[in-house]
Amino acid sequence: MKNHTTVKKLVLTGLSDLPSLQLPLFLVFLLIYLITLTGNLLILLLIFTDSHLHTPMYFFLGTLACLDMSYSSVTVSRMLFDLLRELRIISVRSCITQAFFFLFFAVSEISVLAVMSYDRYIAICRPLHYMQIMTWYVCVQLVSGVLVISTTYSLVHTLFLNKRTFCLPNVLQSFFCDLPQLLEVSCSDTFINVLLIFLSGTLSAEDITTV
């Protein structure tokens, strides 16, 4: 058995090690981030203020806008913060927390897109029964189901990830905490984690094929 030094902090490589590029990159990504937030907020404002848009399609679109803002904020906010400093250190707990929210919002966004495709399928193939099928109760149930599934998916991965130990070298080749990078720097047996990724990917592929 090899001796390993367990660490409580991880280092993110970030986008660039060149100090001269960090400020320009910060300004560029800050602008993109602000445009993303502004666009999604305008979509939400338009949906809330216009009564003609109070339909299932725009309900899902508004949900997607909220998820898109959250999804971007999980990674970009940390990246912008790290671009303003030399040493990009993050605690293991904070890293796992970021990974949880990244997985949650990513899976939620993909699932809502699938729900929107189902909504459009009903609208095109059964237009006369659309309002009877896609009631507000059904819409809320679909979104609630998406959030429950996404929470369960993210929680399972992060709970098993929380049982792993991390050793030197503790450098993540990324600008945020993602599941594959975390498993790479773990000195524990990651067989269960890899198996979970494989099984969840297989089930997702089967669901998409079925739809």
C-beta of residue 134 within 8 angstroms of C-beta of residue 119: yes
Whether 177 is covered by a domain: the verdict is yes
Residue recorded with tokens 């927390």? 97
Whether 142 is covered by a domain: the verdict is yes
The more confidently predicted of residues 101 and 209 is 101
Whether 148 is covered by a domain: the verdict is yes
Separation between Cα atoms, residue 159 and residue 92, nearest integer Å: 13
Residues of the chain with pLDDT > 90: what percent? 44
pTM of the model: 0.87
Separation between Cα atoms, residue 187 and residue 75, nearest integer Å: 25
CATH number of domain containing 129:
1.20.1070.10
Whether 206 is covered by a domain: the verdict is yes
Separation between Cα atoms, residue 24 and residue 43, nearest integer Å: 29
Whether 3 is covered by a domain: the verdict is no
Provide the 3-class DSSP secondary structure of residue 23.
Answer: helix
Instruction: Count how many domains the chain has.
Output: 1
Whether 52 is covered by a domain: the verdict is yes
Mean pLDDT of the chain: 86
Whether 2 is covered by a domain: the verdict is no
Range of the domain at 54: 10-210
**pLDDT by residue (tens digit) across 103-129?**
999 999 999 999 999 999 999 999 888
Whether 83 is covered by a domain: the verdict is yes
